[in-house]
A and B are shown apart, each in its own frame.
Chain A
Amino acid sequence: MADLTLATLAAQVFTGLVLGMILVLLAIGLSLIFGLMTVVNFAHGSLYMLGAYFGFFLVASTKSFWLALVVAPLLVGVFGLLMERFLVRRLYGRSIDDPLLLTFGLSLVLVEAVRLVWGKIGLTLDPPPALAGAVNLGFTYFPLYRLFVIGVTVVVLVALLLFLEKTNVGLIIRAGSRDPVMVRALGFDLGRVWLLVFGIGTALAGLAGVLAGPMRGVYAEMGVTIVIESFVVVVVGGMGSLPGAIVAGLVIGQVVSLTTLFAPKFAEIMVFIVMALVLLVRPSGLFGEAGLME
């Protein structure tokens, strides 16, 4: 560690921040969907992967990264709508495990389908020319594209929180996750709200996929490890808690990134150790309320 300078450390903190942003996008979608309909979407990682492949396809056919950045998450969101309407909806009222099992099956199908369509070899998705190169942050150089990822995520998160806090639909969503029976009794069609939230959550996974593509590569198995890490983020933050997902996502991002710097072999393991520690000290997660949504 003799060559450890402040600049390396800072660069690594920024890298962790970028990873954290991707995790937050995934965990918020998982948490929203779970909070409202107690569905754990195991296929969330596959939708992330699908987002990256749609992004690749759109960039290849339209030559525009910007178009892909907007359209690919929308396509994944539409896929999510279809998923809720035709698959997950059939399972409401059954065991809480059944949607998890169904989406697990779907994730196997999606990974193989993508291999059939785009081949087994990983693809590369280039960042747009405008975002190539690095910027001088004063103490270190950092890839411009990664700063862009941080910016996009912050904008999306702020928009999402405003939507949930300030709009009528957001109010119904929050009320629905508290007390669905009462919301129904007041005459709101929760089925449409569920559909919408499933669409938003999956579109966020798609966005995470397009954003991650240029940094982490595009391959069929890309969603597997990260969905498990996102589960960890949700557990650490507290299921159904949006602030929890954000804080835990950023913390886990730093944990991975800094362990990679100091003890690379432990990078993947540390995530789970942090989770075990949180479970021991605060079983309901950092922001979770004990007993809520068990």
Chain B
Amino acid sequence: MRALTGWIAGHPVLAFLVVFAVFPFLVPYKALATQVLIYGLFALGFNLLYGYTGLLSFGHAAYWGLGAYGTGIALAKLQVGSLWLALLAGPALAVVGGVVIGFLCLRRRGIYFAMLTLAFAQLLYFVGFHLADVTGGDDGLRGISVPPLVLPGVRIPLDTSLAFYYFAFALVALAVAGLKRILDSPFGAVLQAIRENSDRAVACGYDATRVKHLSFVFSALFAGLAGALDALRLNVVPIESLYWSTSGQVVIMTLLGGAGTFFGPFVGAATWLVLEDRLAVFTESWPLVVGAIFMAFVLFLPKGIWGTLLARLGP
């Protein structure tokens, strides 16, 4: 067991590829596997900011929502025929959002930051709600059809759940490799230095605000890609994509799994989705149970499932 966790922690990208290549055959149904992948990516983006940079955002619904609406509007309203172009639109919009909102929120530190991210996400929610001509408003954005995947020489329709899973798998794998690259770079080292001691990083000559801002934008990019994939998965963008509950969901997932660990977000996303799936059968009040479990984690297991495993077994 110790050897296994050690190997996974040492080769995160390879481990991701191995686990998620067979994942759809390990879970009760394939739709769940795709959801774990997409929400895992969302939590991965959140974790870059919270777990590795030490900035708690309570408004990541903004970038998830911008990603979903960007791709959804490109396909449903602008009739963009190309899957790649549509997939570019969402994350690009999320990056723009991350640049602007990140700039404003980083004017304050600490707990203000969390409240500001929440407030700006809520602003976008109301904008999405009232701009019904573009976003579909309260009814959500409907009529998103997924164009076939066109690669040099091949044309693959993504209409089966397994085909879509492996398409998402390829993109999320790229994102995972990208995150690993970021964390291993000098920039990644500065991020973690800022998390540990921001003043000291500044004293070492790093422009902490700029580094944080860049981390914010990368985080928005990952969240936006996840949102864009979710728009393709659901064929609709519900208005709740921008709502604060979505921001809360990614916070809970990441902390359940383990903030600041590479796989925590995926473990957390899987835990949340399985909990929701199982609990919803028994009771309508499943958020009560999830909320109580989350409180117990904050109080007693702040490292989350994967973080505690790593700490117990050692990498």
Contacts and interface: CB of A to CB of B under 8 A. Distances in A.
Interface in A203-242: 224, 228, 231-232, 234-235, 239
Which of A96, A104, A116 is the most central at the interface, judged by chain B CB atoms within 10 Å of its CB?
A: A104
B119 A235 contact: yes
A213 to B, nearest CB: 23
B56 interface: yes
A108 B293 CA distance: 11
Contact of B126 (A94, A116, A269, A293): A269
B127 A235 contact: no
B299 interface: yes
A100 interface: yes
A55 to B, nearest CB: 23
Given A87-B299, A224-B244, A269-B126, A109 B291 contact: yes
Main secondary structure on A side of the interface with B = helix
Which of B109, B116, B291, B292 is the most central at the interface, judged by chain A CB atoms within 10 Å of its CB?
A: B291
Interface size class of A (residues with CB under 8 A): 35 or more
B291 A112 contact: yes
Contact of B130 (A34, A106, A265): A265
B122 interface: yes
A116 B251 CA distance: 25
A228 B288 contact: no
Interface stretch (A65-73, A160-168, A177-185, A275-283): A275-283
B272 to A, nearest CB: 12
Contacts of B109: 294
Interface string B243-258: 0100010011001000
Given A106-B291, A272-B119, A294 B298 contact: no
Interface string B110-123: 11101110111011
A127 B280 CA distance: 38
A272 B117 CA distance: 11
A105 B298 contact: yes
Contact of B118 (A105, A231, A294): A231
A115 interface: yes
Interface in B122-152: 122-123, 126-127, 130
Interface string A70-104: 00000000000000000100110010111011101
B87 to A, nearest CB: 29
A38 interface: yes
A101 B111 contact: no
Nearest to B101: A276
B12 interface: no
29 contacts: A40-B114, A87-B295, A87-B299, A91-B299, A96-B110, A96-B111, A98-B298, A100-B114, A102-B299, A104-B58, A105-B252, A105-B291, A105-B298, A106-B295, A108-B287, A108-B294, A112-B291, A224-B244, A228-B118, A231-B118, A231-B119, A235-B112, A235-B116, A235-B119, A239-B112, A268-B126, A279-B107, A294-B108, A294-B110
